[in-house]
Chain A
Amino acid sequence: MGAPSGAVDPNEASGLSLSAPERAALQVLRTAPGGPGLEETEVAEAARIPIEAARGSLQRLKGKHLAVSDEEHLERFRLTPRGSAALAEGLPERKLLRFLAAAGRPLEAADLGDSGLDPSARSAAIGILRRAGRLAAGASFAIAESVPAERPFPEELALPKISQGEGEIPSAVLESLKRRGLVVAERTTRRRWSASAEGRALPLVDGPDAIGAVTPDRLSSDTWRGVSWRPYDVRATVPRQSGAHRHPYRVWVEEFEEILVGLGFSELRGPLLETEFWNSDALFMPQDHPARSIQDVLGVRGIVGHPPDPGLLERVAAAHEGVPMPGESGPISVGWSAPYDRARAARPVLRSQTTAVSVRKLSAHPSAPFRYYAIDRNFRRDAVDATHHVEFQQCEGILGESGTSLRELIGTFQALAEAIGIRDLKIRPSYFPFTEPSIEGYVRHPELGWIEVFPGGLFRPEVLRPLGIDVPVAAWGIGITRLALVALGVRDIRELYTNDLERLGRGVL
């Protein structure tokens, strides 16, 4: 994948250069006398640039660490439209006092309807006057004689001051005015700007000669000589690049292969679509074994397979039936004591275990000593979830030599575990139809505890003798997918096949 479409010069795009207004503003800051710093208007005036340009330039200079600002947060009050009306016409409580004074007698509640106040304002004004002791006691409404009617209310004193933006207003009065919707608070920030240490140290080049990008035109026209290059903020964020990557899982598998090659194992490959003969029969798996049912093994439509070499087929059939192989006097064992269905041997199935690859190789009679491995796909009818997949990879290995025993098999497990940095190995007995003895090697993972990764055993005589192999052969089939999940820190097997390009571009799954 290349650069994103529509890409521009990343140096320009990142904002590393200084524009003319920025240069001018920075120059003003650098030459300003010491003190609290300059306000934006002062910078605009001195730099001879509009105030909006000054504000933007100062912010960008700050983003480039070339300017700093001291900020002072101010709260200023102003009259609302209702507050302005009250200033001009009087507060409702003043209007009510005037109405009572004009009446010259105590009034009943019904009489107050002519005061010119709407019911809610009238009700609020009565409350204020009563709380302030400006109404005489009693059910009717009359001005209290104890307080001169013309005495101003605190709010009446505050409104002109707020209107003119001067004087101190008691906070209780301000709160009252705000609550009554006559006054609102406005918060403003006053900034004073000065050049940062880096802004003062930055070499500033004046004039239009300071340029940004190196362009082909400039190079070919020789106009780059004698010009000054705008310095860039080398710490600014730059666009993210992504390049071609290998798939992390495949890289890990290849590293594992190198370990095997180093231990003297050579690679084998085999067909993904196998016959039942190689997938199971030659492995001495009984034809009625549950793992051979269509609930476990995947078949195909429209494909016809062929039986193996007739001689080999008869020898394997004899091992299954527990009768002597052609030309021999006694059977290898009682076998499965069941008729062997020769027609089934040719049936094609998706390979369910890489051991089929090993057995194919053994049928070619490799000369001992030999060590082989195969890392390849297998298929089983597993429902797909975080730990199971219909398609998975196994690492199969065989080593054959006179004297090969269980100890060499365990030694192989130890060597492989150590090569991938695991020292704790535990061996448990196990069961596989084609090996005896059979074992499983468990390794200890720091987070997951003991996990089974090394199943193996020694091939049974019912496997080896029909193939004509006369040396003991140790075989193992590592769940390499499981091992890779642990090594790569992946918890869901499906992620091995997800191919999210955003993640692959970062080299992770």
Chain B
Amino acid sequence: MPQSTLSLARLGAMVGRPVHLDELERLLFASKAEVHAGPGDSVSIEVTPDRLDLLCEGGLGLYLQGALGLVEGAPKAIGGSADPRGIAIVSDPSVAPLRPVIQATVATAPPGMPLDAGLLEEAIRFQELLHATVGSDRRLASLGLYPFDRHRPPYRYTLEAISDVTIVPLDGDRPVPAERFLSSHPLAARYAALGTEGTRLLTLRDAAGAVLSLPPILNARPAGEVVEGATSLLLESTGTRAARVSDALGLMGLVFAARGWRLDPVAVSVPEPEPVPSPRPPGRSLNLSEATLRALSGRSFPAHEVARALARSRVSARAEAGGWSVAVPPWRPDLIAEVDLAEEVILERGIHPEEGQLPPSRTRGRRGWDRGLEDRLTDLLLGAGFTETNTTVLVADPLAARLGRREAIEIAHPVSEQFGHLRDALQISLLGVLEANVRHPYPQRLFEIGSVVCADPTAESGAATRRHAGGVVASERAGFAEAAAWADYLTQAFGATGVREPADLPGTIPGRSARLKIAGEAVAEIGEIAPAVLVGGHLPMPVAWFELDLDRLWPLLGRSGTT
């Protein structure tokens, strides 16, 4: 789960009074977040993946203001028009194959409250967290922060020849050719593949040609160097997936919006069609109907209660006929449908176990149609002295190989060789249990009724899951006859009599294995386990094995050849 360490002092500054850990725990209950004491004046907060907005002091502060009833509604941070200043980014078509999406916002400080060291540090910390989460380590989206007053729009986002680019890296003090930067800088070593294509690399320049950054690797000085005292910032996000880029940019703006900064969207233009505004930073509108809220919660909410709950969730809501219209701020990408708004209201009010109700069932419950047959089979095997085992469907590579089960499906990236194949027969699992119990007195009789997975090109997933019942007997006199006798006993107990036909079955002695057929269908496999298999598993006793394919057997009951 995503987590971050936040300053209690900075949270207190947002709320207007000190905030204590136990109070945080109580207030965060409805947000799904968990909070723990951190080092010094800090708390560690862990959130579900939909509430990344709570992982910066600004976002959590907004939430606490609402939860405490101190401030309600969304902060008035969003600019009214799409492009009030005529600021634009020209996205060159050359970027399309590599990193096609770019969006940006200009954040402007409230009068007399320029960027301070604490806010800058919080922004950089949150930027890195968003890189790791929303951005999938910058692959899908990355963020850049720039001092807006140090360059001149419009900006140009393009792919240009590496040899044409020279920059002063953000952590450097002299210009270096991009080629040398790419071959020597640690961040380039990690992210250059995302921002270069052959001999070209991505750049973001202003109208004067100054390099702001090499997305998504690193900013350049001085155009990309944010320092204390700045009063306006350009927030930019590039990536390969538009939704991730929007989400990252929207969340990044939260750090500033929570402190009263104004966010103005930046138009992004490509030569064709006409320039369009960034799609998400202005937020979007969703409707919540009374009917949906009642259906999900199972109760009625007075209108004023809903309005207050939405206001405390820090969104702006307007009552309409039969419901509410809600403006979703860009830092709440989790609110995508009406049900998400309904949950905000339900959680704000609280979920109480005593409100649970389960009306009498109007359905009659029953187990699967074949479970009664499996129960009867279990009774027969227990009565015959077989002990039930519980084994995994994933089986060990060496055992599957020793038994020669070449049809068993191989796992692509197994956790270990102990779980390297899907069993296609219970034989593998039962032999494993015998091998683990060589110190136990003999005879040993084991059985299991369980699932196996067999390759089947006609099945939707390419394999069929089948129910089998398998048994093994390890004793001085165990052999083919005993295995066959048990298979006969079990099938005949269900009124079905089969005919044995020789078969070459994995893991058995040639000439001592067979299939049991009923009405022409193979319903069971029988065999005496080969000595090489036994010795390989340090088994000191001969082993007889039988395995019924229940998916084949049950449909045959009552048909010709069975009684």
Contact status B441-A337, CB under 8 Å:
no
- B174 contacts the other chain (Cβ, under 8 Å)? no
- Give complex CA distance A290, B244 in Å: 14
Q: Which of A246, A274, A302 contacts B382 (CB 8 A)?
A: A246
Query: What does the 1/0 interface line of A330-364 toward B look like (CB < 8 Å)?
Result: 00111111100000000010100000000000000
Contact status B409-A303, CB under 8 Å:
yes
Contact status B298-A408, CB under 8 Å:
yes
Hey, which chain A residues are within 8 Å of B365, CB to CB? 260-266, 371
Contact status B359-A304, CB under 8 Å:
no
Known: A244-B387, A272-B465, A383-B415. A413 touches B356 (CB 8 A): yes
- B363 contacts the other chain (Cβ, under 8 Å)? yes
Known: A427-B351, A436-B343, A437-B296. A384 touches B415 (CB 8 A): yes
Hey, which chain B residues are within 8 Å of A369, CB to CB? 362-363
Contact status B415-A426, CB under 8 Å:
no
Contact status A429-B299, CB under 8 Å:
no
Contact status A461-B353, CB under 8 Å:
no
- Give complex CA distance A260, B363 in Å: 12
Query: Which residues A16-54 have CB closer than 8 A to chain B?
Result: none
Q: Which of B243, B364, B386 contacts A264 (CB 8 A)?
A: B364
Contact status B353-A267, CB under 8 Å:
no
Query: What does the 1/0 interface line of A244-279 toward B look like (CB < 8 Å)?
Result: 111101100000010011111111111111110010
Hey, which chain A residues are within 8 Å of B319, CB to CB? none
- A439 contacts the other chain (Cβ, under 8 Å)? yes
Contact status A303-B461, CB under 8 Å:
yes
- A84 contacts the other chain (Cβ, under 8 Å)? no
- Give complex CA distance A472, B298 in Å: 11
Contact status B453-A272, CB under 8 Å:
yes
Q: Which of B32, B343, B356, B415 contacts A390 (CB 8 A)?
A: B415
- A176 contacts the other chain (Cβ, under 8 Å)? no
Contact status A414-B463, CB under 8 Å:
no
Known: A249-B390, A264-B365, A304-B457. A336 touches B243 (CB 8 A): yes
Give, as a whole number of angstroms, the nearest-CB distance from A258 to chain B: 9
Give, as a whole number of angstroms, the nearest-CB distance from B239 to chain A: 11
Name the interface size band of chain B.
35 or more
- Give complex CA distance A263, B364 in Å: 8
Closest to B371 in A: A267
Closest to A391 in B: B392
- A93 contacts the other chain (Cβ, under 8 Å)? no
Closest to A366 in B: B363
Closest to A334 in B: B336
Q: Which of B352, B366, B383, B412 contacts A299 (CB 8 A)?
A: B412
Query: Which residues B378-404 have CB closer than 8 A to chain A?
Result: 378, 381-394
- B37 contacts the other chain (Cβ, under 8 Å)? no
- Give complex CA distance A303, B366 in Å: 34
Give, as a whole number of angstroms, the nearest-CB distance from B435 to chain A: 11
Known: A264-B363, A303-B462, A407-B357. A273 touches B422 (CB 8 A): yes
Hey, which chain B residues are within 8 Å of A265, CB to CB? 363, 365
- Give complex CA distance A272, B463 in Å: 9
- Give complex CA distance A411, B410 in Å: 42
Query: Which residues A456-505 have CB closer than 8 A to chain B?
Result: 458, 460-462, 472, 496-502, 504-505
Binding site for B on A (CB under 8 A): 1-2, 4-5, 243-247, 249-250, 257, 260-275, 278, 288, 290, 294, 298-306, 308, 322, 332-338, 348, 350, 369-371, 376-377, 379, 381-384, 390-391, 401, 403, 405-415, 425-431, 436-439, 441, 458, 460-462, 472, 496-502, 504-505
**Selected A-B contacts with CB under 8 Å, 17 pairs:** A244-B385, A247-B388, A272-B465, A288-B244, A300-B409, A300-B410, A301-B410, A306-B460, A333-B338, A377-B451, A405-B296, A406-B346, A407-B356, A429-B32, A437-B346, A460-B339, A502-B440
Binding site for A on B (CB under 8 A): 29-32, 48-51, 136, 140, 241-244, 246, 284, 295-299, 336-340, 342-343, 346-347, 351-353, 355-359, 361-368, 371, 378, 381-394, 409-416, 418-419, 422, 433, 436-437, 440-446, 451, 453, 455, 457, 459-465, 476
